[in-house]
Homo-oligomer: A and B are copies of this chain.
Amino acid sequence: MRATIKDVAKLAGVSTATVSNVITRKKYVSPELIEKITKAMEELDYTPNTIARSLKVNRSFRLGLIVPDITNPFFGEIVKYAEKVANKENYHITLCDSDQSVEKERQIINTFIENGVDGIINVAPRMKDRELNRKRPVPMVIVDRPAFETDKNIAFVFADNFEGGNQVAKRFVEQGFRKFLCLAGPVDIVPNAKKRLMGFQEYILDQGFTEADVEFRKCDFSFESGYDVMKEYLQTYKKTEQLAAFVSSDIMAWGAMEAIKDMGLKVPEDIAVIGYDNIFFSNFVHPRLTTIDNPTKQLGAMSMQLLLDTIESKESLKGNYVVLNSKLVERQSDERLPF
């Protein structure tokens, strides 16, 4: 049986209050007693019962973390860095995978609250803004997704995806491309997917190109959809000049590049490709994928820091926006060549 604070108190010949005081360091205890108590704790292999403490102080030192798919290294990285800063401050993470289902997301949030987490980090939620902003008894920070401003104890940490789409377009235009395609993500469901597309389109149109110069197709961010949609697009494609394709997630871009190869075309010679996310392995697919670096490390670390700061300060989140920068990382998949 595990030793309790009473056992320690008895062995050390003091009251439980004194033992508690040496553990929490909230009151002065004489050096001799500290010594005696410490010895007793060691002898009994005592370790405080966190659950009992949680009940008493009404804090669990646990944080709930929701991701759409832990299998995706993009989310894996966010989790990793978020966890790093949580652990440094002695908080623990309860992870749940929502499988991209709004229903599950809802249910996860509820059980998190029942389980008494001190805060929630919700990565790329699929919920509608309105539901997201519902008042909850614990602070929640939303990662990788903007929303309309609010003050319901919630905050947002995300990269500016519109600007990201912009950068891609700028790059293509500056290199002299004149025919554009965007394989967009699920623009109806994922706000960032829409932002990427809009940033891309707007820049190009601003440069004097016409709607006919910049086509787009809807996908769902998965490898398969990148492959399928690109393949279908290429059925009716006639090469007249080098096409510039913005495939708005790396995983999807890998799929699109496979489709291009399978159709007997080459990247970048026939079709230049730029992705989005900068997943680690994108540096190693062939050709190395030019992409927008989505700052996972900062997304994870900053959102967690923000959450912990508000928990520790006992203040409320105030609907703050933390907007991070993305930058283009130039590799080989988008080289401009004589056609």
* Partner-B contacts on A (CB < 8 A): 2, 47-52, 54-55, 60, 62, 65, 69-73, 76-77, 79-80, 83-84, 87, 92-97, 110-111, 113-116, 137, 223, 251, 254-255, 258, 261, 280-281, 284-286
Contact = CB atoms under 8 A, between A and B. Distances in A.
A284 B254 contact: yes
A319 to B, nearest CB: 23
Contact of A73 (B51, B54, B73): B73
A219 B260 CA distance: 33
Given A223-B284, A284-B255, A97 B116 contact: no
A309 B223 CA distance: 36
A71 B62 contact: no
30 contacts: A47-B113, A47-B114, A48-B114, A49-B116, A50-B114, A51-B54, A51-B55, A51-B116, A55-B55, A62-B94, A62-B115, A65-B95, A71-B77, A71-B280, A72-B73, A76-B76, A79-B97, A84-B97, A87-B96, A92-B94, A92-B111, A94-B95, A223-B280, A251-B281, A254-B281, A255-B284, A258-B284, A258-B286, A281-B281, A286-B286
Contact of A92 (B72, B115, B261): B115
- The 10 lowest CB-CB distance pairs between A and B, nearest first, are A95-B95, A71-B76, A50-B115, A47-B114, A70-B76, A51-B116, A51-B54, A51-B55, A70-B80, A71-B77
A328 B80 CA distance: 31
Nearest to A45: B137
Contacts of A71: 73, 76-77, 80, 280
Contact of A94 (B72, B77, B93, B110): B93
Given A261-B286, A281-B281, 19 more contacts: A48-B114, A49-B114, A49-B116, A65-B95, A70-B76, A70-B83, A71-B73, A71-B77, A72-B73, A73-B73, A76-B76, A79-B95, A87-B96, A93-B94, A223-B280, A254-B281, A258-B284, A285-B286, A286-B286
A251 B95 CA distance: 25
Contacts of A223: 280-281, 284
A232 to B, nearest CB: 18
Nearest to A87: B96
A333 to B, nearest CB: 13
With a 10 A CB-CB cut-off, give which of A49, A51, A284 has the most chain B CB atoms: A51
Among A72, A110, A255, A285, the most chain B Cβ lie within 10 Å of the Cβ of: A285
Residue among A65, A97, A255, A261 having the largest count of chain B Cβ atoms under 10 Å? A97
Given A96-B93, A111-B92, A258-B284, A60 B51 contact: yes
A115 B255 CA distance: 43
A238 B185 CA distance: 47
A45 to B, nearest CB: 10
Nearest to A261: B286
A96 B251 CA distance: 26
